[in-house]
Every structure is written in C-alpha cells, then in structure tokens.
Amino acid sequence: MLFIIYLIFLFVSSIDLQTIKHLHEISIQEELPIGSMVTSLTDKVPNLDQSIEYDLVTPLSTDLDLFSVDHKQHSLIIKNRIDYEYLCLKKKHCIISVSIAVSNEDTIDVYILPIRILNINDNIIKFHVNRTVIEIEENDENWSKKSYPLPKAYDDDGDLITYSIYLQNWNTPDGLFDFDEINLLLKPLKKFDREEQNIYLLRLIAHNQNDASTDIIVLIKDLNDNPPKCQQNHTIFLITNISIPSIYSLNVTDIDEGDNAKLEYRLVNPLSGFSIDRYNGQIKFDYKKWINSNQSVLIINATDHGKPLRLSTQCFIEIKFTSLFSIDFKSNNSVINQTNISIEIENLNNPLGYFLLYDKQENKLCTNCLIHINSSIKDFFYLNYLTYDLYLNLNSIVLMKMLTNYYINKENISLTIQIDITDSKNPSIKSTKNYSVELYFNKINILIHSNIFFLKIHENILLNDKIPIFNRYHHCLNNQSNELILSDSTHTFEIERNFHLVLKKYLNVKQQKIYHLTLQQKENNSTKNVSLSFQIVTNFILVD
C-alpha cells in the first residue's frame, strides 16, 4: 500500500490535467462521529470495482486530513473531528475537496470530490464577561449626552442574537435607563444622586435558541456635594470627674464617601485644658491645664477632604462641669449620713441647718456661687441666699395643714431636695446634690418653743363669731389676765380680752387662704409678739 501511494504522489506531480476528474459536490453535517460513512465510493467513482488499487491522496494540510477510505465497504468515512466553526469560520474551508487516486492497468485517474460542511446548532450563546461595571457621576449636568457600552454576546454558530435588559427584580428600568439594543448602549434618563441610591443592579439577557445573561452593575460616583453634619442630639460635654482626663467623642457625619467623607477637626476657639484630635474628633479635657473663664461653648470646625472644594461645618459643644463644687449640709440638731438627713423640728424660728459650698479649684469656700433649692414638695423650704441657712417655709400650704392639725401631736414627712450650685461668672460650672430628708414634727414642743401659733378656721364662719385662741402650752396664750394687742393689716379680725378673735369681714378662700396676725402682750410696760397664722378651709357637702 505504501508503495502504491508513493507512486500516486509521483504520478500526481507529473500527470496531465486530463487525468483529473471532478465529481458532484456532496454535503455532510459537522460533528459526525469518527468512523461514520460519508458516501459510497462505488456510487461516485466509475468502474471502481475494476480498478487495481485506489486510495486518498494525502492533503497538504493536516487541518484537512479529515477522511479515510474503508476498502472493505468501498466507502469514504470520517477520520478526524469535523468542526464547522473551526474549518469554515476560522480557516475559511467550508468545502473540503477530497482527492481519490484510482490505479488501472496503465493509468492512474484522480477524482476530486467536493464535500460541503454544514453547520449545526451545537454551540450555546454566551457572554465573555460575567459582569460589567459602569460608573456614572452623580448630579451630572451632561447626563443626557452620555451613553455607556454594554458587552456583546457570542454564538459560534453565527445565529441571530437579540437582547433585553431588566433590573434585578425583573422589572424594566423605566425612568432610569434607556436601552439601545441595536448599538448595545445604556443611556441614563435622569441625574442620579448617590446619597439617594449608590448602586443599580441590572441584568442583560441575550436571546436566540437559548438565553445567556450577564450582570450590569451601575455605580453612582460620589461628588462632594454634602457638607459634614453635626448630630445635634449630643451637644453637651459633661465633665463629672476632675481627677482624670475627660473625653468627649464628637459625632459628625458626612453622607458622601471616600475622601469626600474623610473629616478633619479643628478648635475654632481654643480654651485652656481642651484639645481635639485632628483626625477622629475626640475632645480631651485636662483639669490640670484648665483656667476658669466665662466661656462655656466649644466651637469645632469639621472639614472634609473632598475635591475640587472642601466643605466644612461648625459644631457647638456646650461645656458642663458638675464636680468643681462640693456641697455639704451642716446642722446641730440633725442626723446626717451622706445624703440622708433626719431632723427633729421643735422650733420653727430656728434654721434647720446650712449648706457649706467649697470651690475645689480655688481650695476655699465659694464666693461666686449661686444656689438654688428645689424640693419634692413645692415651696416647703426657704433658703437664706446670704448665709445659705435652710428654713421651713411657713407660708407652705402643706406645712400649714400639718401644723394646724392638732389631732396628731407627732407627725413626720419624707421628701427630697435638690441643691444646684452655679458659678455666677461661668454658667458652665454647675454642681448638683440630692438629699433625702425625714422631718419629725413634735407639735407640743413647737407650741412651747416657737413664738408662732397655727389655727384652722372655716370659710363659712359668720360675722362677729368668736374664735378661741387660748392654748395652755403657749406661755403667751395661757394667761387670760394678759392684755393683748392685735395687728391685722387686712382688718378682718379683732381681739377680745378673753382670748377670742372676732370676725369682722366675710371670708373667701378664693381671695385669701392664709392670714398672718401679730399679737402683742403687754408685760410691765413692755410687749412681746406672738404670730398667729390662720388657714381657711372650706366645708364641702357631698351629694350622691
């Protein structure tokens, strides 16, 4: 066989053109299995069964060495893989010419059989990229003039491809983007604001006999169009301990991103003892470096690193010191345990005690302090703002009701008081202390030791009715031989010699609830004052 083929090659190289004969073209599909029969040679080559030998002429290119001869079946079979996309589209060989050399007794004839390769749909449609990222500048004034290319799908079979585009939820991007299917372009339909939405996820679908998809990620590029913003719900730097440095973390946000949101901080009005970290905005207070002044607000400038212009804002931080003043309550007739006070009340004329205010920075008693007292029972106490002495407020309605009720000789009341101390020169310095107070009233001792007598009368008392004020516990009101002089600025009452008050005007609780009267007792050409306090009460008749 090798010898014959060699002769054929020698012959073909020198044979006359009349010895080459052309057969009719046949067609076969690509990707036929190796060994498959292409055609019967006895049907194509005349008198093949009378020839001595026949075989294929080896092609010059190995890419075209696709066929072989089955001599037993006298047929042409597939020798190697036949790929239409490789042969026709890449190598431009859509027709493969097979040369069959047939040897007779004295001649060798060459028959050329054209074989056309037919394409089948054996390749799926695909994109060469899994995703494409498109960046669009936010608030772009030229948005209507811009478009962005989309990736093209490929089908090696060369079939027609159509496209469609959707959002991730399979809705069409109406109002957001326009899709140019012919040119595969994505066009914005508006200006985009990154702070409103910074990313849009789309899916590009390619269609023919099957579908393929690729992700389109649209990123809205940040523009430095938002200044930093101070969080107004954190504006007080509360300094509660001066023994250790205090730190306040400034809460400033910038809704831009990257350098457009990277912030830098600066103190506009530097105050002694205060410093700020340039990069994280932490404010630190060092008491050892602090000098008292009348400034109580820190002004912070926060600036971003955006381009082309840096944007900034100012934050105002109010300073509050709560530990510069110490507050202590002192009393000779009280039991004091830190913030718990127990007091026996025997004399309403004497103070309950006094407050001692100490300035820790100056290491001395406070001279610029303003004190304010607030109790859980309104107006129950009175404070002397010069001496800081604490008294019971004898005008208190609650206290009046207690002291006019002699059915209960001993009575106690629990309440809380809050002491607020501020510096008159610096409103940022304020100290507060809360006390729990228990007051014990011995009403007999109060009558004996206090030059005050409390009475309760009713609004419906008649004119000229007499109100007895004799009291055996009070030294001025238990001797009817004493001569008393009444002082009443309202001219509502008169006094009789036998210790009776006489009503001269009708009482109206809506006009006046409390009357303060002063009795003067004459003794050996001298006088002693006794204060009378009246509380008017109204009788109510309940009807079902």
Q: For residues 151-176, give the mean pLDDT.
A: 91
In the chain, what are the domain boundaries? 15-118, 126-221, 229-322, 325-441, 465-535
Question: Looking at residue 539, what is its pLDDT?
Answer: 45
Segment 337-391, tens digit of pLDDT: 888 999 998 888 889 999 999 988 888 898 888 999 999 999 999 999 889 999 9
Give the CATH architecture of domain 126-221. Sandwich (2.60)
Question: Looking at residue 535, what is its pLDDT?
Answer: 58
pLDDT interval class at 136 (50, 70, 90): very high
Beta strands (DSSP E) in 346-471 are 353-359, 364-365, 369-375, 381-383, 389-392, 410-423, 430-442, 452-458, 466-468
Q: What is the C-alpha to C-alpha distance for residues 539 and 229, in angstroms, rounded to an integer?
A: 62
Q: Which of residues 159 and 351 earns the better pLDDT score?
A: 351
Question: Looking at residue 99, what is its pLDDT?
Answer: 92
pLDDT mean across residues, the chain: 86
- Residue 278: pLDDT above 70? yes
Q: What whole-number percentage of the chain has pLDDT above 90?
A: 48
Q: Which of residues 472 and 396 earns the better pLDDT score?
A: 396
Phi, psi of 289 (to 5 degrees): -100, 0
Q: Out of 36-40, 128-132, 246-250, 494-498, which region has the weakest mean confidence (pLDDT)?
A: 494-498
Question: Looking at residue 542, what is its pLDDT?
Answer: 38
Segment 200-243, tens digit of pLDDT: 999 999 998 889 999 999 999 999 999 999 987 568 898 888 88
Q: Which residue has the tokens 């009715």?
A: 465
Question: Looking at residue 435, what is its pLDDT?
Answer: 94
Segment 291-304, tens digit of pLDDT: 888 888 999 999 99
- The yes/no answer on whether domain 325-441 falls in CATH 1.10.760.10 is no
Cα–Cα distances (Å) from 361 to 292, 326, 365, 425, in that order, read: 9, 11, 10, 14
Which stretches of 412-492 are DSSP H helices? Answer: 443-449
Question: Looking at residue 526, what is its pLDDT?
Answer: 56
pLDDT interval class at 527 (50, 70, 90): low
CB neighbours of residue 12 within 10 Å? 15
Q: Do domains 126-221 and 325-441 have the same CATH topology?
A: yes
Question: Looking at residue 3, what is its pLDDT?
Answer: 38
Question: Looking at residue 253, what is its pLDDT?
Answer: 92
Superfamily of domain 15-118 in CATH is: Cadherins (2.60.40.60)
Q: What is the C-alpha to C-alpha distance for residues 377 and 379, in angstroms, rounded to an integer?
A: 6
Question: Looking at residue 187, what is its pLDDT?
Answer: 97
Q: For residues 251-269, give the mean pLDDT.
A: 93
Are the beta carbons of 202 and 156 closer than 8 angstroms? Answer: no
Q: For residues 426-433, give the mean pLDDT.
A: 87
| H or E element at residue 397 | helix 397-403
Question: Looking at residue 123, what is its pLDDT?
Answer: 82
The pTM of the full predicted model, rounded to 2 decimals, is 0.55
Question: Looking at residue 25, what is its pLDDT?
Answer: 93
Q: What is the C-alpha to C-alpha distance for residues 530 and 476, in angstroms, rounded to an integer?
A: 7
Question: Looking at residue 412, what is its pLDDT?
Answer: 94
Q: Out of 3-7, 245-249, 489-493, which region has the weakest mean confidence (pLDDT)?
A: 3-7
Segment 321-332, tens digit of pLDDT: 888 888 999 988
How many CA atoms, within 13 angstroms, populate the side-chain half-sphere of residue 430? 14
Segment 82-108, tens digit of pLDDT: 998 888 888 888 999 999 999 887 888
Q: For residues 486-515, give the mean pLDDT.
A: 87
| H or E element at residue 527 | strand 526-537
Question: Looking at residue 13, what is its pLDDT?
Answer: 47
Question: Looking at residue 368, what is its pLDDT?
Answer: 84
Q: Would you identify the CATH topology of the domain 229-322?
A: Immunoglobulin-like (2.60.40)
Q: For residues 162-178, give the mean pLDDT.
A: 94
CB neighbours of residue 270 within 10 Å? 12
pLDDT interval class at 6 (50, 70, 90): very low
- Residue 195: pLDDT above 80? yes
Question: Looking at residue 119, what is its pLDDT?
Answer: 86
DSSP symbols for 270-307: --TTEEE-TTT-EEEE-GGG----S--EEEEEEEE--S
Q: Which of residues 459 and 328 earns the better pLDDT score?
A: 328
Q: What is the C-alpha to C-alpha distance for residues 367 and 424, in angstroms, rounded to an integer?
A: 9
- Residue 199: pLDDT above 60? yes
- Residue 145: pLDDT above 60? yes
Q: Which of residues 521 and 204 earns the better pLDDT score?
A: 204
How many CA atoms, within 13 angstroms, populate the side-chain half-sphere of residue 199? 7
Phi, psi of 146 (to 5 degrees): -110, 150
